[in-house]
Chain A
Amino acid sequence: KNQVEQSPQSLIILEGKNCTLQCNYTVSPFSNLRWYKQDTGRGPVSLTIMTFSENTKSNGRYTATLDADTKQSSLHITASQLSDSASYICVVSWIANSGYALNFGKGTSLLVTP
């Protein structure tokens, strides 16, 4: 079972509208949470990265929130543009004894229409 669940799976909104994407995780102990944007046929691009002590972080029209107690994060997109159409991926890392530990959600596919 994936330790990072995203919702909705897909979303269609009109240009100019706002939207919120959700991410729930069960990873523990938690290190940080990232949101990536992945355009079709491209590699993911980082939007925000938050540690457990941060509640919110903004990057232009993108604002991520984190509730480490409930293990939930959201990504809010304001005044959407056609170029926001992409997959948005939530990635959670945890503190491992050794090596590397990142867990990717399946992503939310966002389509912004004129």
Chain B
Amino acid sequence: NAGVMQNPRHLVRRRGQEARLRCSPMKGHSHVYWYRQLPEEGLKFMVYLQKENIIDESGMPKERFSAEFPKEGPSILRIQQVVRGDSAAYFCASSPPPKTGDSVVQNEQFFGPGTRLTVL
């Protein structure tokens, strides 16, 4: 059972370009989370998705950022018109559906290796 896959591992973009980051969850996992880690900072929650649904996007910047988790295929984090401040490591995590009676925050999350975005 492969772990969480992210690609590309490294992405370089010039200011104004678009960045697309992909995340394939572990087999059987229907919950996906995206996090951003700035240099010398802790991980910050961005968005929580289930298949075809955005459950919580309270951590997403209001503009330029969007995320999706389609019925088929990987989850995509899309950043339009990138700026230098978007340079960071972006991590995806996945978890299985919570057990009956549990909330999703009790689920263990499995992280991918991250995509390091550099904006020139």
Contact = CB atoms under 8 A, between A and B. Distances in A.
Q: Tell whether A and B belong to one assembly.
A: yes
Interface of A: 2, 4, 31-32, 34, 36, 41-46, 49, 51, 89, 93-96, 98-102, 104-107
Contacts, number: 63
B91 A102 contact: no
CB-based closest 8 A-B pairs: A43-B111, A99-B56, A93-B105, A106-B42, A104-B42, A100-B48, A100-B56, A104-B43
Interface of B: 4, 33, 35, 40-45, 48, 55-56, 58, 91, 93, 103-106, 108-114
Contact of A44 (B104, B105, B111): B111
Contacts of A4: 42
27 contacts: A2-B42, A31-B105, A31-B106, A32-B105, A43-B111, A43-B114, A44-B43, A44-B91, A44-B111, A49-B108, A89-B42, A89-B43, A93-B106, A99-B48, A100-B33, A100-B45, A100-B48, A100-B56, A100-B104, A100-B105, A101-B105, A104-B42, A104-B43, A104-B44, A104-B45, A105-B42, A106-B42
